[in-house]
Chain A
Amino acid sequence: MADLSKVGTEYPPITWEIERGKIREFAKAIGDFDPIYQDKEAAIKAGYEDTPAPPTFLTVPMMWCDKMPAVINDLKINFMMVLHGEEEYEYYRQMYPGDVITGTPKVTRMEEKTSKSGAKMDMVTLEVLYTNQKGEKVAKARSLLVERK
């Protein structure tokens, strides 16, 4: 059961280097063969500086950074009972190969809800605002985790 007193907690930053190969691999795994993700020249022709990260790419630093288990533990969430309820992004700038992004995960909202069927759930909202190596804001990711009780 989530510890609802943890709202407002910030966790150690995620730092992640955006790699050309990972952009290509991620797009291919989705089955998105848009050449802007595969080929720098095609991306430049389409108005980008290089192959941009696809729209849902920010899940990569979140899942590969190895920091989420500690966050889940600290929030006292039973991982086996967690559903991903919502995911939302705001984009401020493109992310390109070689960029190094940093973001601090923050718990912005925690509340208990009761579903129509009467089941109780804890709703946990986690936000990460990422900046790049120049200190420019690149994107904000917001995830809603639902813990069934």
Chain B
Amino acid sequence: MAEELYFEDVNVGDAVPELVKGPLQKLQHVMYAGASGDFNPLHTDDDFAKAVGMKDGVIAHGMLIMGFVGQAVAAWIPKKNLKKFGVRFAGMTKPGNTITVTGTVTDKRVEDGDNIIAGTVAAKDENGDVKVTGKFEASLPSRS
């Protein structure tokens, strides 16, 4: 659970604590399909995935990887303070991949009386291949 995070305690250049997920299993694709409602067989059926050109079979839902990134961000910045969160899907994730989420605070400002921090995030596999890049913005409480 994220501890309360105060504006005064965050600085540009600070790292979002790293989160490591995996190695991914096909079972997680099935769980995520059921939870999210995305039943595209590309994520759960190897025969289907191969038939549409994925030589190794199923790939993970992009939104599952975004979910990992959201987990990493909200483990540090309480979810209630999160104002914006967006990603670009850059690469496919396969079963067996281990995903590491990292991030950095890139901006800190006071805007209309709100204490805003903003940063970038990325999810990469064990080979350093980028799966997702993204950004976040949060409004933090002040100690004063």
Contact = CB atoms under 8 A, between A and B. Distances in A.
B13 to A, nearest CB: 23
Contact of A34 (B31, B64, B74): B74
B36 A59 contact: yes
A60 interface: yes
B32 A30 contact: yes
Interface in B26-45: 28, 31-32, 34-38
B86 to A, nearest CB: 3
A91 B77 CA distance: 14
A36 interface: yes
A60 B89 contact: no
Given A36-B1, A56-B66, A89 B84 contact: yes
A30 B83 contact: no
Interface residues of A, number: 36
A85 B132 CA distance: 10
Interface string B36-66: 1110000000000000100000000011101
Binding site secondary structure of chain A: mixed
A134 interface: no
Given A28-B31, A29-B36, A64-B37, A91 B71 contact: no
B21 A54 contact: no
A54 B70 contact: yes
Interface string A54-67: 11100110111000
B1 A91 contact: no
Binding site secondary structure of chain B: helix
A54 B73 CA distance: 11
Contacts of B71: 30-32, 34, 54
A83 B80 contact: no
B32 A29 contact: yes
A41 interface: no
Given A28-B31, A80-B52, A59 B38 contact: yes
Nearest to B73: A55
A137 interface: no
A36 B32 CA distance: 19
Interface of A: 22, 25-26, 28-32, 34-36, 42, 46-48, 52, 54-56, 59-60, 62-64, 80, 83-91, 94, 142
Interface of B: 1-2, 4, 21, 28, 31-32, 34-38, 52, 62-64, 66-68, 70-71, 73-75, 78-80, 82-89
Q: Rank and list the top 9 A-B pairs by shortest CB-CB distance, nearest first.
A: A88-B86, A63-B37, A64-B37, A55-B70, A29-B35, A30-B67, A29-B31, A32-B71, A29-B32
16 contacts: A26-B36, A29-B35, A30-B67, A31-B21, A32-B70, A36-B79, A42-B1, A46-B78, A47-B4, A54-B79, A56-B67, A56-B85, A63-B38, A87-B62, A88-B87, A89-B86
